[in-house]
């Protein structure tokens, strides 16, 4: 049996406990309500179904939240399940501040709770009961109306955003399935192919890292690589490359610091330690060895084309010349 990356008492090792909870993948929602004509909303991934008969759902709110009084006083609330292209919406409602609904396309649901027109799904609820949940309050809502749209949901796992994709082990490809994909055009959408390819590669590398004792998650390895590429950057500078919010990025950084792989100087600059550089070299070597297996049989000219196109796409987003990313 493998040893855990970290373990301990959740009352003592609170950061490790939080990182362990982050191993459970969830959807991302924005819960909204309206009290005396004022709209309130916050991002939450504590949403869960409770019962079909009667139709009940639950979520929880921090007692320290600035919206706590509003949600404890509300008669109705709405659960907006975010779609994969709504990360900015998630970040907007995760921050404190006024006028979160400015310039948003919203509809008025039951009890005037705001509904997002572009969500993956929504549930309009009347608040039935509340329960003590430690530093949170648990709210039970009865669903009065639901709406579902043809959109991929946004996911949250390991402190970062993710999208759903077919698991590489679910390979029941038959002629009928291939014909179906061809008919509906799914395989002609490049982003769908890229997501499926990334899922297959990342899954293999993740398993390999654990089996070979490298002991780091995909996101930890990404932060190591980002810090090695530009050692003078702060955590704020690294966040766009990690594609995480500040709290998740800080937790990720703290996990690597606790492992002795990175250090932060007095100016907040993140640097790899000697042990961190060695671990990163091992991860890169492992990735290259696995790529030799994954890409075996694919002509070098095709791989060079893929590498050139991906570099151009990344450079376009970063505003850097593609040659700088080779």
Which of 185-199, 213-227, 231-245 is the least confident region?
185-199
Q: Is the pLDDT of residue 95 over 90?
A: no
C-alpha–C-alpha distance, residues 320 and 324, integer Å: 7
**Residue 143, SS3?**
strand
Q: Is the pLDDT of residue 320 over 60?
A: no
**Residue 276, SS3?**
helix
Domain boundaries, given as residue ranges, for the chain: 24-157, 172-325
* Mean pLDDT of all residues in 53-59: 96
Q: Is the pLDDT of residue 213 over 60?
A: no
Q: Is the pLDDT of residue 321 over 70?
A: no
C-alpha–C-alpha distance, residues 142 and 126, integer Å: 5
C-alpha–C-alpha distance, residues 91 and 111, integer Å: 25
Q: Is the pLDDT of residue 124 over 90?
A: yes
- Residues 114, 78 contacting (CB under 8 angstroms): yes
pLDDT value of position 200 = 67
pLDDT value of position 180 = 46
Question: At what angle are helices 274-294 and 218-229 packed, to 10 degrees?
Answer: 120
How big is the CA angle at 165 (ends 55 and 93), to the nearest 5 degrees? Answer: 60
Model confidence over 158-202: pLDDT tens digits?
Answer: 888 888 876 655 554 444 445 444 445 555 567 777 777 776 676
Q: Is the pLDDT of residue 204 over 70?
A: no
HSE (side-chain half, CA atoms, 13 Å) at 62: 9
- Reported confidence tier of residue 209, pLDDT bands at 50, 70, 90: low
User: Is the domain 172-325 a CATH 3.90.1150.10 member?
Assistant: no
For 197, other C-beta atoms within 10 Å of its C-beta total 14
**Residue 307, SS3?**
helix
- Reported confidence tier of residue 210, pLDDT bands at 50, 70, 90: low
Of 208 and 301, the structure prediction assigns the larger pLDDT to 301
Alpha carbon 133 to its chain centroid, in Å, reads: 25
How big is the CA angle at 129 (ends 123 and 135), to the nearest 5 degrees? Answer: 95
What is the DSSP-derived secondary structure letter of residue 57? Answer: E
**Residue 119, SS3?**
coil
Closest residue by Cα to residue 208 from 290, 291, 295: 290
Q: Is the pLDDT of residue 214 over 50?
A: yes
Q: Is the pLDDT of residue 284 over 90?
A: no
pLDDT value of position 169 = 59
C-alpha–C-alpha distance, residues 257 and 223, integer Å: 11
Extract the tokens encoding 3: 């040893």
Q: How buried is residue 48: exposed, middle or buried, by Cβ count under 10 Å (0-12/13-18/19+)?
A: exposed
- Reported confidence tier of residue 2, pLDDT bands at 50, 70, 90: low
In the numeric block, the tokens 């946004």 are attached to 154
C-alpha–C-alpha distance, residues 272 and 264, integer Å: 9
- Residues 273, 263 contacting (CB under 8 angstroms): yes
Model confidence over 248-282: pLDDT tens digits?
Answer: 788 888 888 988 999 999 989 999 999 999 988 88
Cross-strand pairs, 302: none
Cross-strand pairs, 29: 44, 81
Average pLDDT of the chain? 83
Class (C level, CATH) for 24-157: mainly beta
Closest residue by Cα to residue 64 from 74, 72, 56: 72
């Amino acid at each position: 049996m493998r040893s855990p990356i970290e373990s301990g008492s959740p009352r003592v090792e609170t950061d490790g406990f939080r990182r362990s909870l982050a191993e459970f993948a969830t959807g991302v929602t924005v819960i909204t309500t309206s009290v005396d004509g004022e709209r309130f909303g916050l991002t939450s991934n504590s949403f869960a179904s409770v019962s079909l008969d009667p139709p009940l759902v639950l979520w929880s709110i921090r007692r320290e939240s600035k919206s706590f009084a509003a949600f404890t006083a509300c008669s109705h609330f709405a659960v907006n399940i975010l779609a994969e292209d709504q990360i900015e919406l998630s970040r907007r409602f995760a921050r404190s501040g006024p006028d979160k609904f400015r310039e948003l396309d919203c509809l008025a649901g039951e009890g005037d709770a705001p509904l997002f027109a572009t969500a993956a799904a929504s549930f309009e609820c009347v608040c039935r009961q509340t329960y003590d949940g430690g530093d949170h309050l648990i709210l039970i809502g009865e669903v009065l109306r639901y709406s579902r749209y043809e959109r991929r949901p946004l996911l949250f796992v390991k402190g970062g955003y993710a999208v759903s994709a077919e698991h590489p082990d679910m390979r029941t490809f038959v002629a009928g399935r291939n014909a179906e994909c061809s008919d509906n055009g799914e395989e002609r959408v490049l982003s769908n192919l890229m997501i499926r390819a990334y899922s297959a590669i990342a899954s293999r590398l993740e398993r390999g890292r654990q089996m070979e004792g490298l002991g780091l998650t995909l996101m930890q390895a990404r932060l190591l690589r980002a810090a090695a590429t530009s050692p003078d950057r702060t955590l704020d500078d690294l966040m766009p490359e990690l594609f995480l919010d500040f709290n998740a990025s800080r937790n990720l950084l703290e996990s690597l610091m606790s492992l002795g792989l990175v250090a932060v100087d007095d100016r907040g600059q993140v640097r790899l330690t000697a042990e961190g550089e060695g671990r990163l070299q091992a991860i890169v070597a492992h990735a290259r060895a696995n790529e030799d297996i994954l890409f075996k049989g694919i002509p070098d000219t095709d791989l060079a084309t893929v590498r050139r196109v991906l570099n151009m796409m990344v450079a376009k987003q970063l505003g850097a010349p593609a040659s700088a990313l080779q």
